[in-house]
Amino acid sequence: MIRVLFVCLGNICRSPMAEAVFMHLVREAGLENKIEADSAGTGSWHIDSVPHPGTLGILEAKGIPYEGLGRQIKRDDLDKFDYIVTMDDENLRNVRRLGKGRAKVAPLLDYAPHAEIREVPDPYFDGGFDVVYHLVHEGAVGLLAAIRQEHGL
């Protein structure tokens, strides 16, 4: 099983959206028996919290289910997952501070070569969930394509 972990700051906006969108694409491709995903935050503020209403609202509008609760990334995640995918540079630095593991660590928008920005903005305070959805979708499409190519799927 190929395991992907999406990481943002609090695990209630961007990373659960990325997890849900990515797994929706995985299911559409018929690869749910080969690829699984989870999400986590670098901070501990929202452990066991449901996602932000803005995240849930846009996922519902797109017909994408999500039922996860917030959690914080742990050191052993670096060895449990094959890919750790961050939303912004701060998330990337915080994940790298945990040490090295077997996971390939990279920003989501590295998989979205046509995106005009390199970080997924945090919509927690200002909204912008539509913009975040489009960036996350573009990155998730690229990530899935990269995984399929790398693993011969």
Give residue-wise pLDDT tens across range 95-125: 999 999 999 999 999 999 898 899 999 999 8
Q: Contact at 8 Å (CB) between 139 and 8?
A: no
For residue 38, the model assigns a pLDDT of 98
Residue of 3, 13, 14, 75 with catalytic role: 14
For residue 126, the model assigns a pLDDT of 85
Q: What share of the chain has pLDDT > 70, as a percent?
A: 100
Sorted by where each starts, the structural domains of the chain and their CATH numbers stand as 2-151 (3.40.50.2300)
14 assigned to active site:
yes
Q: Average pLDDT, stretch 18-27?
A: 99
Residue of 8, 13, 82, 88 with catalytic role: 8
122 assigned to active site:
yes
8 assigned to active site:
yes
Alpha helices, H only, 35-87: 53-61, 77-80
